[in-house]
């Protein structure tokens, strides 16, 4: 692979048209009133019950969307002391998956602290009221102090559970309202919680590879808002759609202009795919990224193939789709013809209109991917 990476600052590697990631509010129009689509129930859990679910991987905490909200030690000690005193905690929010697995919407730091204490990972310190418990770990609460083990395990957590099939476009708004007091999440960060599984794990793995970093110049560890993950997610959604591999309710999925729904269907499908199928999708994506880097260099996925411009997500997904088609045709092709042909398409007035206003409108989406299919045919038959 050509080494065309140069020193750069992460802030210089921006992505165009990602403002849609921040648009969390529900704006759809449904025949049924919005409130009829929301299913939320109240449920109480003991801390020990939640701990048991966590150990059985039925409670998902290990998601990255709350990565910047790490508690200080003092907050952890005060949380344990409050519970041991029987004081009420703020309500927890969970999202129940179809398979009865729960994803933590609000309460990750509290639960992480509780589970760490149950696992004897830290001792209590600086307690003001229950000072006699200072320097004690959970395992030390025996004998006369055993009542405090029971107090902790039996403590009831009051929660609201968001039930399926509450649609994602409403879940985005729920997440926004619940987390408004802390870090404002974007859609991809929320999806990282809603669809935590093998599909999103594969997408995250792709963003960590040399192939992805070399061609996008976006390092995973510095991509604090998961925009790299969003680029790959959109590409895979449209790739599976136009390869007629995307299914919903037993039928081929038809794109209606709702990108959030398209991504929802795609991620659910990927999470249910066999490992072998996911490996093939990942391999094709990495080959396509490498091919784009080798042929287009620093200009890959940018307007006019100009390396000084930001990544354009529509050019990213269509270019990668074009590269994937060439790889699947498995023909020797002239790299200069590929670069010149792609340049002619993405700088044309028609294509620029297709990635302008209302760019996710079905007619515009279908047309720009058709242009890439036509270009691949021309290149391979020339």
Instruction: Give the pLDDT score at 26.
Output: 45
Residue 157 backbone class (left: φ over 0; alpha: ψ -120 to 50; beta: rest): beta
* Residue ranges per structural domain of the chain: 10-24+186-381, 34-169
**178-222 pLDDT per residue, tens:** 655 555 567 777 777 667 778 988 999 999 999 999 999 887 766
Kindly state the percentage of the chain with pLDDT values over 90.
57
Cβ-proximal residues to 333 (8 Å cutoff; 6+ apart), any chain: 326, 379, 380
- The first and second tokens of residue 96, run together, are 């129940």
Tens-digit pLDDT profile for residues 304-362? 999 999 999 999 999 999 999 999 988 777 899 999 999 999 999 999 999 999 999 99
- Whether the per-residue pLDDT at 6 is higher than 50: the answer is no
pLDDT at residue 122 in the model: 95
Both tokens of 67, joined, read: 């990565």
pLDDT tier at 36 (50, 70, 90 boundaries)?
low
Question: What is the mean pLDDT of the segment spanning 156-182?
Answer: 72
Average pLDDT, the chain: 84
The closest of 298, 320, 322 to 233, measured between CA atoms, is: 320
CA proximity to 281, closest of 221, 316, 233, 335: 233
Residue-by-residue DSSP string for 2-25: --------GGGS-EET-GGGG--S
Structure tokens at 361: 């409108």
Q: How many whole angstroms separate alpha carbon 319 and alpha carbon 323?
A: 6
Distance CA 270, CA 193 (A): 15
Segment 136-164 mean pLDDT: 92
Question: 81-85: long-range contacts at Cβ-Cβ below 8 A with a sequence spacing of 24 or more?
Answer: 81/124, 81/127, 81/128, 81/129, 81/130, 81/133, 83/47, 83/114, 83/151, 83/152, 83/155, 84/130, 84/133, 84/148, 84/151, 84/152, 85/129, 85/130
* Residues 123-148, mean pLDDT to the nearest whole number: 93
């Amino acid at each position: 692979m050509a080494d065309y990476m140069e020193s750069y600052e992460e802030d210089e590697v921006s992505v165009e048209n990602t403002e849609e990631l921040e648009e969390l509010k529900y704006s759809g129009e449904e025949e049924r009133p919005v409130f009829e689509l929301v299913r939320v129930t109240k449920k109480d859990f003991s801390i020990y019950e939640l701990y048991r679910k966590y150990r059985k991987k039925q409670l998902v905490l290990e998601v990255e969307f709350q990565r910047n909200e790490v508690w200080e030690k003092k907050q952890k000690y005060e949380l344990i002391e409050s519970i041991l005193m029987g004081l009420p905690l703020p309500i927890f929010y969970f999202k129940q998956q179809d398979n009865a697995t729960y994803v933590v919407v609000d309460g990750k730091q509290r639960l992480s602290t509780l589970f760490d204490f149950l696992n004897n990972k830290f001792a209590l310190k600086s307690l003001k009221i229950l000072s006699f418990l200072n320097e004690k770990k959970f395992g030390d609460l025996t004998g006369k102090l055993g009542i405090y083990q029971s107090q902790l395990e039996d403590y009831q957590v009051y929660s609201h559970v968001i039930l399926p099939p509450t649609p994602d476009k409403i879940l985005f708004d729920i997440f926004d309202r619940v987390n408004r007091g802390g870090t404002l999440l974007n859609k991809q960060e929320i999806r990282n919680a809603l669809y935590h599984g093998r599909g999103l794990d594969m997408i995250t793995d792709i963003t960590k590879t040399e192939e992805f970093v070399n061609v996008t110049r976006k390092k995973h560890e510095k991509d604090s808002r998961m925009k790299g993950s969003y680029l790959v997610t959109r590409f895979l959604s449209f790739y599976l759609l136009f390869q007629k591999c995307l299914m919903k309710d037993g039928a081929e999925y038809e794109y209606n202009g709702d990108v959030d729904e398209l991504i929802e269907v795609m991620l659910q499908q990927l999470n249910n795919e066999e490992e072998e199928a996911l490996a093939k999708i990942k391999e094709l994506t990495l080959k396509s990224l490498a091919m784009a880097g080798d042929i287009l260099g620093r200009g890959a996925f940018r307007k006019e193939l100009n390396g000084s411009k930001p990544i354009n997500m529509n050019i990213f997904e269509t270019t990668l789709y074009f590269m994937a088609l060439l790889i699947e045709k498995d023909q020797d092709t002239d790299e200069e013809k590929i670069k010149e042909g792609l340049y002619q398409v993405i700088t044309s007035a028609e294509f620029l209109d297709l990635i302008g206003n209302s760019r996710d409108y079905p007619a515009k989406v279908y047309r720009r991917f058709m242009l890439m299919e036509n270009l691949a045919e021309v290149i391979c038959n020339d």
